[in-house]
Amino acid sequence: MGSDRIRAAEATQVLLPASFEPPPGVDLHARYHSVRCGGDYFDASVVGSRTAFLLTDIAGRRAAAHRIAAVVQEVFRNHAHDLFRAPDANESQAITTLVQEVNSTLMALGGELHSSPTFVGCYNAPLGILTFISAGCHPPLFRDSVGTRTLEGGGVPLGLFTHLTHEPAVQVFEPGAKMLLVTKGVVESGRGRTEFGMDRIKCLLENSNLPSAADICQMVLDSSHEFRTRGSSAVRAVLRLGKSANHDDLTAVALVRPTV
């Protein structure tokens, strides 16, 4: 049983870039659970007091999606640095431009469509403000002193149309406020016809007192994984995930404004 727990723990891995060092006032974390077989991709870039980050689910199997993600990474990092480095940068305009650049890259690769539900955000640490575009992905969940709710807005996934227009949204984070993003693999994780679903994920965030982004990600991924694999050992579940072509990646991203 001890080895089962070790194998299950090893199946959850951090997605943050190796050199990622967020500025004070930002707690950002990204994790995936189990063997990666799909196209989930996360990246983040710190530009002064701003943190730009991207979560996308590129259509296709892992090998093909990985090649596309490598190009998207270069475009995202280069343009994020250029767009957000000026202290007086217009963050809404910069996010819009960044999303357009990522979409153009997806459209130009391989001569075929790569439907990619994508979230792109820029968090301004001194102001506690997140500017974001949610393009075809599950809406982010947000919790503060008012309650837990979804952040509406967005549009169609990237990678489908050359000329896309997405309206950026803005969310203020009070100290202790939390935002959670998950990919469809988490939401649609299920047993038979029963999905884990956004309602369960919302309840987890609403009823949890976990203070850190890393703990929030771990809680959601563990709960989704357990829901899908209940009744089998952790080892058999991990092996089944690795061999099945019908499973999506389980990926979670959390952003927290620390209280101190």
The pLDDT assigned to 142 comes to 98
What mean pLDDT is predicted for residues 211-234? Answer: 84
Pick from 55-64, 70-79, 148-157, 227-236: least confident: 227-236
Give the integer Cα–Cα distance in Å for 226 and 12.
Answer: 13
Statement: residue 174 has pLDDT above 50: yes
The pLDDT assigned to 145 comes to 96
The pLDDT assigned to 251 comes to 93
CB 114 within 8 Å of CB 41: no
Indicate whether this model's pTM tops 0.85: yes
Which band of pLDDT confidence, cut at 50, 70 and 90, is reported for residue 10? Answer: very low
The pLDDT assigned to 242 comes to 43
The pLDDT assigned to 5 comes to 39
Pick from 70-74, 136-140, 247-251: least confident: 247-251
